[in-house]
Chains A and B, each alone.
Chain A
Amino acid sequence: MITHNQFVKAIVFICLVAPLCWLGWQISLELQQPGSALGADPGEAIVHYLGEWSIRILLFAFSITPLRRLLKSRALARTRRMVGLFAFTYVVMHLLAYLFFYLEFNWSGMWVEILERPYITVGMLALACLLPMAITSTGGWQRRLGRNWRLLHRMIYAAITLALIHLWWLTKDGFEDLVVYTLWFMVLLWFRWRNVSQQLR
């Protein structure tokens, strides 16, 4: 028998790998017949697709604490580490896709891009915030760091803020998705602020 916890975890897991399965499927179609699935510029399509899912999953990870309170679901709270690690994985794949398709692993070119293009700079900074969180996501690190672990994981605020700046800077027009992501983030911030101010009272 699977427990309730395992069930919730399995559902969340399936939701998180589904976008990758879809991408894998599209890539396999593309390999059989170029242009059949991802359009005229598959590289661009893959970079964008992984970027979109990066921000969504990052926001989902940030939503889990408030959602747990709303839904009174401890099982959901237990998926938080997995969701966070998935978000990190998507961002890394987004970066790899960018390195492969846009820069063709031209490392010196990468430094120029990081220094000269502000939207790349903030994207990298967002990733730099996520990296220590991913490394210290294990129970062992959690114990070793004690109180500092929670402090360290507040970097999620910076990571999402930087990711949203990345998005605002690279979007030329048609801001609807961006408005949704930003509002979503602000609602979550408001939720947390309200909680803290209630605790202080």
Chain B
Amino acid sequence: MLTRKVSKIRSSEITSESIYLTRRKFVQQGALAGAGLSVGLHANAGLQSNDDITPEHIVTSYNNFYEFGTDKSDPAENAHQMTTDPWAVSVSGEAKKTGKFAFEDIVAGLGRQERIYRFRCVEAWSMVVPWVGISLKEILQQFEPNGNAKYVEFKTLVRPSEMPGQRGIFSSIDWPYVEGLRMDEAYHPLSIMAVGLFGKELPNQNGAPWRLIVPWKYGFKSIKSIVSIRFTKRQPRNTWSLLAPNEYGFYANVNPAVSHPRWSQANERRLPSSIFDPNRRPTLPFNGYADEVASLYSGMNLTKNF
């Protein structure tokens, strides 16, 4: 149903910037837990005292969103062309409630929380981002997936008229961008759909109107500007592992022990780096969220299932 007009997220619904700023102080002082406010149990999970929040202008100007070009600065330059209102999402596959839904109908009534997560790209850089997110489990459960639903697949918008990267003839990506999760990964309390950052509406270059965030996986799993959700029995394909299966896997869990053919994953450049200080630090297993998520993969060979 595409009935209601998409309304912008009202600022009253999300953390105001002043609250965010006080929270930032909490983070810097190391007072991570129990900051009160609307911060949920997992809001600051695994955050370390040296995890300073990355400045907003960097989070919104240094992006990999190949639909808008392959340079880090391309998305910020081009993404304003994308229409995010109205935004229809198709839900299909192994679930009771399938069909076309308006984005705002799906998220209406669901609680928004600020989650400050590390974000680790497979290219060996990382940031710390205060997302405004909604529990992915709460979102998915609305569609009542059935017993056959073992995986969930997501797709990004395809609209070459508004996405210059999809018009290029020298791209080897077969649009749309697809990603997927196992259902237990999707239902993990750390998994969210982000609808904002820094207490504001999500900018287009960061994947408006909503994008996945799974903080223990490399950034390419966290698919942006989602228009399709499909519940499947079999493991869905994902764009980067289709392009280079020996370089990118389905799981893509952050793992300093398994290096990528192009980048050692043992450490990362925490942005912003500066000329005199590359700001390099060791990468943590599961991006520092091992306590919360390692049990999802017990018994699995993580070198083979990279």
Binding site for B on A (CB under 8 A): 27, 30-31, 34-35, 38-44, 101-102, 104, 109, 112-113, 116-119, 170, 172-176, 178-179
**Which B residues touch A38, using CB under 8 A?**
275
Considering only residues 6-54 of chain B, those with a C-beta below 8 Å from chain A are: none
Task: Report whether B171 and A43 are in contact in the complex, using a CB–CB cutoff of 8 Å.
Answer: no
| B259-A116 in contact (CB<8A) | yes
User: Given A39-B72, A117-B261, A34 and B171 touching (CB < 8 A)?
Assistant: no
**A40 and B271 contact, Cβ closer than 8 Å, known pairs A173-B66, A176-B168:** yes
B272 lies within 8 A of A35 (CB): yes
B69 in contact (CB, < 8 A): yes
Nearest CB on B from A98, distance (A) = 12
A171's nearest neighbour on chain B, judged by CB, is B70
Pairs A–B under 8 Å by Cβ, sample size 21: A35-B57, A35-B58, A35-B272, A39-B73, A40-B62, A40-B72, A40-B271, A41-B272, A42-B274, A42-B275, A43-B278, A44-B125, A104-B278, A109-B264, A116-B261, A119-B262, A174-B66, A174-B69, A174-B170, A175-B170, A175-B172
Q: With the chains together, A179 CA to B170 CA distance in Å?
A: 8
Q: Which of A42, A43, A109, A176 is the most central at the interface, judged by chain B CB atoms within 10 Å of its CB?
A: A43
How would you classify the secondary structure of chain A's contact residues: helix, strand, loop or mixed?
Answer: helix
Is chain B's binding surface mostly helix, strand, loop or mixed? loop
Measuring CB to CB, which residues of chain B are less than 8 angstroms from any residue of chain A? 55, 57-58, 61-62, 66, 69-70, 72-73, 125, 165, 168, 170-173, 243-244, 259, 261-262, 264, 269, 271-275, 278, 280
Summed over the interface, the residue pairs from A and B with CB atoms below 8 Å come to a total of: 77
- Give A74 Cβ to nearest chain B Cβ, in Å: 38
Residues in chain A near residue B61, CB distance under 8 A:
39-40
Q: Which residues of B contact A44 (CB under 8 A)?
A: 125, 269
Q: A170-B262, A175-B171, A176-B168 are in contact. Are A41 and B62 (CB under 8 A)?
A: yes
By the criterion CB–CB under 8 Å, are B171 and A27 in contact? no
Query: B264 touching A113 by the CB < 8 A rule?
Result: yes
Report the bound CA distance from A116 to B261 in whole Å. 7
Q: Which of A31, A176, A178, A179 contacts B275 (CB 8 A)?
A: A31
Would you call A176 and B170 a contact (CB within 8 A)? yes
Complex contacts, B73 vs chain A, CB 8 Å? 39
A116 to B168, CA, bound (A): 32
Do the beta carbons of B261 and A173 come within 8 Å of each other?
no
Q: Which of A109, A117, A174 contacts B70 (CB 8 A)?
A: A174
Q: What is the distance, in angstroms, from A12's C-beta to the closest C-beta of chain B?
A: 29
Q: Which of A38, A39, A42, A112 has the most CB of B within 10 A?
A: A39
Contacts of A43 in B (CB 8 A): 269, 273, 275, 278
Give the distance in Å from the alpha carbon of A156 to the alpha carbon of B274 in the complex. Answer: 35
Q: Smallest CB-CB separation from A101: which chain B residue?
A: B278
Cβ contact within 8 Å between A34 and B70: no
Q: Nearest 3 A-B pairs (CB), nearest first?
A: A174-B70, A175-B170, A40-B62
CB distance from A46 to the nearest CB of B (A): 8
Name A41's contact: one of B57, B70, B173, B273 (CB within 8 Å).
B273
When the two chains form their complex, are residues A41 and B170 in contact, meaning their CB atoms are under 8 A apart? no
Q: How far is the CA of A15 from the CA of B172 in the complex (A)?
A: 34
| Cα–Cα, bound, A195→B251 (Å) | 54
A175 — which chain B residues lie within 8 A by C-beta?
Answer: 170-172
Give chain A residues whose Cβ lies under 8 Å from the Cβ of B272. Answer: 34-35, 40-41
Distance, CA A39 to CA B54, complexed state (A): 13
Give the distance in Å from the alpha carbon of A176 to the alpha carbon of B58 in the complex.
Answer: 26
